[in-house]
Amino acid sequence: MGDQQQPITNECPYCRAAMAVTQMACGHCQVSVSAVFPMSRLAGLPVEHQRFIEMFVLAGGNLKEIAEQVGVSYPTIRSRLDKVIEALRGEIAKTQRVRGNLLDAVDPGKTNAAEAARLIKRI
């Protein structure tokens, strides 16, 4: 068997969960920083979705052109785009801050005026 290199992925090879970037290094001076770095929403997508987005952008959003390049039908490419959109919406939903109604935070009879004012200022 040849030594075939596997593509880099953001998935854990064991459990398939998203892996985190924990170290960055300067290629010039070799300084490195270790931390848990936030990932972009696109980085949270599977690699095949990221590649599709690259093709989509390079083709100027022309699905017909992508279909011709890849050698599949337009409906197949449209279906792939729909899957990418759905996955990206899921990534956005994971990172969006959920804001409730002010009334959800106020417990009648237990929240005093100063606490209510503090809650309002946070909005």
Distance CA 44, CA 36 (A): 14
In the prediction, which pLDDT does 121 show? Answer: 72
Instruction: Please give the backbone phi and psi of residue 121, each rounded to the nearest 5 degrees, phi first.
Output: -65, -30
Those residues with Cβ within 8 angstroms of residue 80's Cβ, 6 or more apart along the chain or in another chain: 52
In the prediction, which pLDDT does 10 show? Answer: 74
Q: How many CB atoms lie within 10 A of CB 84?
A: 20
3-state class of 42 per DSSP?
coil
List the pLDDT tens digit at each of the 123 positions of the chain: 445 556 667 778 889 887 888 888 999 999 999 988 877 888 888 889 999 999 999 999 999 999 999 999 999 999 999 999 999 999 888 877 655 665 666 666 777 777 777 767 766
In the prediction, which pLDDT does 19 show? Answer: 81
In the prediction, which pLDDT does 100 show? Answer: 60
Q: Which letter does DSSP use for residue 45 in this model?
A: S
Instruction: Please give the backbone phi and psi of residue 14, each rounded to the nearest 5 degrees, phi first.
Output: -90, -55
In the prediction, which pLDDT does 1 show? Answer: 46
Maximum separation of any 2 CA atoms in the chain, in Å: 73
